[in-house]
Amino acid sequence: MGHNLNFNEHTGRYSFFSVQEKAWHGLGQTVTEYPTSAEAIKHAGLDYNVAKLPNTHILPSGNSVSSDNSFYTYRTDTEAILGDKIGKDYHIVQNSDAFAFFDAIVGGSEGILYETAGALGKGERIFITAKLPGYIRVGKGDDVTEKYIFLTTSHDGSGSITGAFTPIRIVCQNTLNASLRNMSNVVRIKHTAGAKQRLEDAHKVMGLANIMSEQLEGIFNEWATVRVTDNEVKKLIQLALCPNKETYDLLKKGAEYELSTVFKNTVEDAFGYAMMSDTQQMDTTRGTLFGAYNAVTGYYQNVRNYKDSEAKLQSIIMGGTAQGKAQKAFELCSNFAKDGNEIFLFN
């Protein structure tokens, strides 16, 4: 599989680290104990600064850079240009600032465990995942979901700093990130926000994680007691994975024979994962609504192929297709828990 991890020619290292588990593609630095944020920055090769300069400028090396726009950003260590369409109000958030934001989430480094961090491309995008204390427990307690916060920020002028509460079910590494009806699992912070505002947003992320953990634990435990037939699981998968109105209309009138082969195969793969996966055959998932939900999330994370790990990350965590389908599955399962299989009547 390909990857887009940043390789620093000055240090001869990839910008990535992971705790204990094999680092992404076997690249990057593997550490055996959870580091402090200062150590994590070094382990991940994120100990570089970004500068913002106007128009044509001579870099320290003597290289000249010109931009048609007002400003551009570059790495001061490698002099790699990270963004050349930067507005005058764009505020650089250094990588150390992003980790400081994480430290602020739990009031210093106590209790938060940095697990992975890395840079993509030339270093224009960085991501950090950190584990929070405690678990979401489903059933009698052996089906455990760990609580993570995923943070990503860019240095190229695109997007905002994004902090997302991202629970991961241990037995199958399924990411169960979902927005509830009354609450998103994401906090977006503008690059122009000052330090005080960012600190307030950090506390908002932590408050969100605490509330959502409690709510999701209640929801998942309820779903683990709701029985569903194999046919209902298949219908839930069909609706969750439905790609367009044409497919929806065919499902609505029961014309399965007219469905595209690609869609039918995708549904079969997800259904096969639901029926066969060892992780699905736990008391919490076997024949339950919680199992149906995990069929969709597990399909995208454990069955579907991606061109590289960055594409998978984008799809599952950074607002891509898999995240959208998982959210759809979450909403369908919520409706099923409330109304039963009446949701298949297409009211």
pLDDT band, residue 279 (cuts 50/70/90): low
In the predicted model, is pLDDT for residue 82 greater than 90? no
What one-character-per-residue DSSP string does 221-249 give? HHHTT-B--HHHHHHHHHHHH--SHHHHH
Q: Are strands 16-19 and 29-31 parallel, antiparallel or unpaired?
A: parallel
Mean pLDDT within 104-113:
62
Higher pLDDT, 232 or 187: 232
pLDDT at 227 over 90: yes
pLDDT for 347: 45
Of 131-140, 197-206, 242-251, the one with minimum mean pLDDT is 197-206
With cut-offs at 50, 70 and 90, classify the pLDDT of residue 330.
very high
pLDDT, tens digit, for every residue of 18-76?
Answer: 555 544 445 556 666 667 778 888 888 889 999 888 766 666 776 766 656 578 888 88
pLDDT above 70: residue 212: yes
pLDDT attached to residue 8: 65
pLDDT for 321: 83
Closest by Cα among 232, 77, 218, 233 to 155: 77
DSSP label at residue 299: I
Amino acid residing at 220: F
Count Cβ atoms below 10 Å from residue 116 Cβ, excluding itself: 21
**CA-angle at 267, arms to 265 and 271, nearest 5°:** 115
Mean pLDDT on 148-166: 83
Rounded CA-CA distance 181/26 in Å is 39
d(CA 217, CA 213): 6
pTM, entire model: 0.81
Task: Categorise residue 346: left if φ over 0, alpha if ψ from -120 to 50, beta otherwise.
Answer: left
Residue 319 has pLDDT above 80, yes or no: no
Alpha-carbon gap, residue 228 to 225, rounded angstroms: 10
